[in-house]
Amino acid sequence: MMAFLKLLARNRLALAGLIVIWIVVFLALITPLLPLADPDVTDTPNRFKAPFSEGAVLGTDHLGRDLLSRLMWGTRLSLAMGVAAAIIAATLGSAIGIIAGYFGGRTDNIIMRGVDMLMAFPYILLALAIVAALGPGLMNALFAVAAVNVPFFARNIRGITVGVAHKEFVDAVRLAGMRDSEIILREVLPNVLPVIVIGMSTTVGWMILETAGLSFLGLGSQPPQADLGSMLGEARSALITNPHTSIVPGAMILIIVMGINLLGDGVRDALDPRLKSGALSRPMPATEVDRRETTRAQTDSLLDIAGLQTEFRVRNRVYKAVGGVDLHVEKGECLGIIGESGSGKSVTALSVMGLVASPPGVITGGAVHFDGDDIIGAKYEVLRSLRGRRVAYIFQDPLATLHPLYKIGDQLIEAIQTHETISKSAARSRAIDLLKSVRIPNAENRIDSYPHEMSGGMRQRVGIAMALANDPDVIIADEPTTALDVTVQAQILSVLNDLRRERGLAILFITHDFGVVGQLCDRVAVMYAGKIVEEGPTDAVLRNPQHPYTSRLIDCVPTLGGGQRKLAAIPGLPPVVDRLPDGCAFADRCDKVQMECRSGAIDLAATAPARKTRCLFPENTQEASA
């Protein structure tokens, strides 16, 4: 509760709303004690006195009544009506909702049908019908507004009750023989009460507005008694000649409703945990770059990543997801990046084209040279013209990564037309060819399917076809086979392998599966806690892993027919990347750890031709050099 209040206090607008409401409510409460003129005494000779005139601070109305006094009494009445309507609606609605939700079955069905019927009305029609039947008047308007809002509470509270009524503790007391009415009062009600209170606080502003509205129409409070709505309604005929009589009550309604809205927004933000984590912020078109220095390319490869650093800034914590990665891929080569979830392999891949979600992602160092130019920090238009045209991506879950509401054909055609001026029909026939090239049977018909109409394997083929649309030089595949079963996975890999050979594609293949690496990749880089810990030709690394982490990772892979071997899970978890230890990040999980491992940065050192390892005590060095 205190945390909630603190959060609320941090939101300055909500605080302002709260203060405004406190002041208005306080003034309304002490109105009878204030030295105000009688609000109902008419004084026609002094009608329509302007504001700030003597004896009437806010002037007088069309019958010469003191506006300030009427405003205060009217506010008091409006607030009381709004609160009363909210309480009545909440009580009735919650009772209905609890009964429907608790008993369920037929009772629930009948009640909720009725509630749905009530919700089928534009709310004011219902209120007007009730007032028409009961006759205009303060209490009838109050009842009408409350009745109209009953369905809202009934529906919400029913939902919560259904959840509570099937919890274990309710079952337990029921088995203990407690009666239904007792269970509802002692077990269910305390659990739904907070929701009722929140519902009331969010609707009270609305109720004030609605009761004022009915009074404005002349259907609520009757003269001489006046709430803010009927004050405004009476002043309407003198709107043009004496606008102050309208502005005074209207401005008060505005102030009250605005205060309640400000507070309500603050409460909502404080209660919505998604806003706290910052998860509701949208990613910008390209990842933010905040580099202190640039790094020169280390090779003249097609794609050269040098000293890349990417971090996530969430509130005041910094997660160094990628902590200085060097990689390069040649034309026609396939480089695998392997590592556990959270090792930074995907972030590395997404950083290349600035696709790391930002906020919270920021590229803070290093460089990515593509075809000789550094593309980190390049202008957005430069980046955009490279994306898809020369560097294309294949993502993991094709159900989430394809647009669910566009036909796959239209998505392929868009990929083509984004980078090339070409007629729609020509693009369409190209799209069909692309689908054929990834071995989608019946491509002419399949092109008009929606993603949800295809199987996982077929969808991933579409993802690959889309990546190939503009004949790119590099394909970055971010776990493209992870969501697929093994036979489909093999097919996809063979499609990729063939394309690589036919088109001379460079592939950066991110995975956590050594089997996949072995099938497809020429070289492999092993990542741990945001750094490359070992790199080398695939066969050599798989046969003679040098970093203890690599060998432990390989030991985790079950092999067919290897039933006798004990699977060795790695004890412990990878370190959290906002608190990386000094020295080797794997030290805590390594069984060969020495004192030296825990101090100072460890370099990625060459241990054999074309092999590098970030370890002070590498394994298997003899065999590798032999």
Partner 1 sequence: MTGYILKRLVSAIPVLLGISVIVFLIMAMIPGDPATAILGSYATPENVEKLNRDLGLDQGLVPRYFIWLGNMMQGDFGRSFALNRPVIDEVLDRFGATLILAGTSFVLCSILGIAAGVVSAARQYGFADKAITFVVLLGISIPSFFLGMMMILLFAVRLKWFPVSGMWPIYGDRNFWVLLDHLAMPAIALSVVATGVIARLARSAMLEVLRQDFIRTARAKGVRESRVIWRHALRAAMVSIIPILGIQAGFVLSGAVYIEMVFQWPGVGRMLVDAILKRDILLVQGGVVFIAACYVMFNIMVDVAQALLDPRIKT
Q: Whole-number minimum distance, CB 235 to partner 1, in Å?
A: 8
Site size toward partner 1 (CB under 8 A) is 78
Q: Does 130 bind partner 1 (CB under 8 A)?
A: yes
Q: Whole-number minimum distance, CB 286 to partner 1, in Å?
A: 8
Which residue in the set 265, 340, 578, 619 belongs to the binding site for partner 1 (CB under 8 A)? 265
Q: Give, as one character, the DSSP assignment of residue 401.
A: H
Q: Does 132 bind partner 1 (CB under 8 A)?
A: yes
Long-range contacts of 447-453 (CB under 8 A, 24+ apart): 447/407, 447/408, 447/409, 447/412, 448/407, 448/409, 449/407, 449/408, 450/404, 450/405, 450/406, 450/407, 450/408, 451/398, 451/399, 451/402, 451/403, 451/404, 451/408, 452/399, 452/404
Q: Does 209 bind partner 1 (CB under 8 A)?
A: yes
Residues 218-257 that bind partner 1 (CB under 8 A): 218-219, 232, 236, 239-240, 243, 246-247, 250, 253-254, 257
Q: Does 431 bind partner 1 (CB under 8 A)?
A: no
DSSP three-state, residue 312: strand
- Using CA atoms, how far apart are residues 249 and 69, in angstroms rounded to an integer? 11
* DSSP symbols for 584-609: -TTGGG-TT--GGGGSS----EEEET
Cβ atoms of 213 and 221 closer than 8 Å = no
Which residue in the set 121, 288, 318, 554 belongs to the binding site for partner 1 (CB under 8 A)? 121
DSSP three-state, residue 288: strand
Which of 329, 336, 361 is closest to 480 using CA atoms?
Answer: 336
Q: Does 593 bind partner 1 (CB under 8 A)?
A: no
Region near partner 1 per CB under 8 A, out of 54-62, 108-116, 314-322, 549-557 = 108-116
Residue 477 pairs in a beta bridge with: 394, 509
Q: Does 384 bind partner 1 (CB under 8 A)?
A: yes
CA distances from 83 to 89, 146, 205, 280, 345 (A): 10, 10, 9, 33, 56
Given the complex with partner 1, which of 103 and 450 has the nearer CB atom?
450
- Using CA atoms, how far apart are residues 537 and 399, in angstroms rounded to an integer? 33
Q: Does 217 bind partner 1 (CB under 8 A)?
A: yes
Residues 283-302 that bind partner 1 (CB under 8 A): 283, 285
Given the complex with partner 1, which of 240 and 486 has the nearer CB atom?
240
Q: Does 385 bind partner 1 (CB under 8 A)?
A: yes
Q: Whole-number minimum distance, CB 134 to partner 1, in Å?
A: 7
Which residue in the set 450, 522, 551, 616 belongs to the binding site for partner 1 (CB under 8 A)? 450
Residues 175, 180, 185, CA angle at the centre, nearest 5°?
Answer: 115
Cβ atoms of 589 and 332 closer than 8 Å = no
Q: Whole-number minimum distance, CB 280 to partner 1, in Å?
A: 5
Q: Does 118 bind partner 1 (CB under 8 A)?
A: yes
Which of 511, 527, 410, 547 is closest to 466 using CA atoms?
Answer: 410
* DSSP symbols for 115-157: HHHHHTS-HHHHHHHHHHHH-SSHHHHHHHHHHHHHHHHHHHH
Q: Whole-number minimum distance, CB 566 to partner 1, in Å?
A: 38
Residues 318-357 that bind partner 1 (CB under 8 A): 353, 355, 357
H or E element in which residue 458 lies: helix 456-468
Region near partner 1 per CB under 8 A, out of 56-64, 273-281, 294-302, 594-602 = 273-281
Which residue in the set 73, 152, 216, 370 belongs to the binding site for partner 1 (CB under 8 A)? 216
Which of 222, 148, 51 is closest to 233 using CA atoms?
Answer: 222
Q: Does 380 bind partner 1 (CB under 8 A)?
A: yes
Q: Does 129 bind partner 1 (CB under 8 A)?
A: yes
Given the complex with partner 1, which of 74 and 250 has the nearer CB atom?
250
- The residue assigned the tokens 């060097």 is 326
Residues 480-509 that bind partner 1 (CB under 8 A): none
Q: Whole-number minimum distance, CB 411 to partner 1, in Å?
A: 8
Residue 93 pairs in a beta bridge with: none
Q: Whole-number minimum distance, CB 455 to partner 1, in Å?
A: 16
Given the complex with partner 1, which of 274 and 292 has the nearer CB atom?
274
Residues 16-75 that bind partner 1 (CB under 8 A): none
